[in-house]
């Protein structure tokens, strides 16, 4: 009986690395948290920076080393200037990337964003816009880590041309 158990353990230890090599990197569903720096320019003279935080859900497909994905994000930040406060920021978009070295992917992203800003005088204003970004992602045993830069541009409000620059660190898990 001891020889049977020892043989089973030996077989399992030898075959486990083979299973890990069969997994396709950067493929499948994931969830992640995001934290970083949010810099909002309301116009040339009015801007502020603050803490960015939120969550992301997404799904990637790796096709012969090319990664195609979709993702959605809900974020908020601590930006507040002249009584105007940044509220929630919604994003839905796509990612395209590729593995540049083992377990490291470079990618670009783009999509739709909708931000809400509030002031004391009313319920707030919702602005539609687009987001472009780029980053690096690494993965180890299902855990993912990303460093990312994102630029968002929103529709004009009178003479105000709001835009946002974000530097984000994203940590999550791929299923």
| DSSP calls for 140-172 | ETTEEEEEEEEEEEE--BTTB--EEEEEEEEEE
Q: Report the alpha-carbon distance of residue 3 to residue 8 in Å, rounded.
A: 9
CA distance 136 to 118: 33
Contact predicate 117/127, CB 8 Å: yes
Q: Which helix (H) or strand (E) holds 42?
A: none
Q: What is the pLDDT along the chain (175 residues), one digit of tens a residue?
A: 455 444 444 444 444 443 444 467 899 999 999 999 999 988 767 788 999 999 999 999 999 999 999 999 999 998 887 667 788 999 999 999 999 998 999 999 999 999 998 876 766 789 999 999 999 999 999 999 999 999 999 998 887 888 999 999 999 999 9
The pLDDT value recorded for residue 80 is: 80
Nearest in space to 75 (alpha carbons), one of 50, 47, 46, 44: 50
- The pTM score is 0.82
Phi, psi dihedrals of residue 11, rounded to the nearest 5°: -60, -45
Task: Tell me what pLDDT residue 82 has.
Answer: 64
d(CA 63, CA 33): 26
pLDDT of residue 12: 47
Domains defined for the chain, CATH in brackets: 25-174 (2.40.160.20)
CB of 142 within 8 A of CB of 112?
A: no
Closest CA to 152 of 84, 77, 97: 77
Please tell me the predicted confidence (pLDDT) of residue 114: 96
Neighbours of 104 (CB within 10 A): 13
What pLDDT is stored for residue 122 in this prediction?
A: 67
CA atoms of 174 and 25, how far apart (whole Å): 10
- For CA atoms 28, 31, 37, 42, give the dihedral sign: positive
């Amino acid at each position: 009986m001891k020889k049977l158990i020892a043989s089973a353990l030996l077989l399992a230890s030898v075959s486990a690395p083979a299973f890990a090599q069969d997994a396709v990197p950067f493929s499948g569903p994931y969830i992640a948290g995001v934290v970083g720096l949010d810099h909002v320019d309301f116009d040339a003279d009015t801007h502020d920076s603050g803490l960015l935080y939120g969550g992301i859900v997404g799904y990637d497909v790796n096709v012969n080393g090319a990664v195609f994905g979709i993702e959605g994000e809900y974020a908020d930040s601590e930006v507040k200037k002249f009584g105007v406060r940044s509220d929630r920021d919604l994003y839905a978009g796509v990612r395209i990337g590729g593995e540049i070295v083992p377990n490291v992917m470079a990618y670009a992203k783009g999509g739709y964003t909708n931000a809400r800003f509030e002031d004391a005088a009313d319920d707030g204003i919702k602005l539609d816009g687009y987001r472009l970004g780029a980053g690096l992602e690494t993965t180890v045993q299902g855990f993912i880590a990303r460093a990312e830069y994102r630029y968002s541009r929103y529709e004009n409000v009178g003479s105000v041309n709001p835009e946002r620059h974000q530097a984000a660190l994203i940590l999550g898990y791929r299923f």
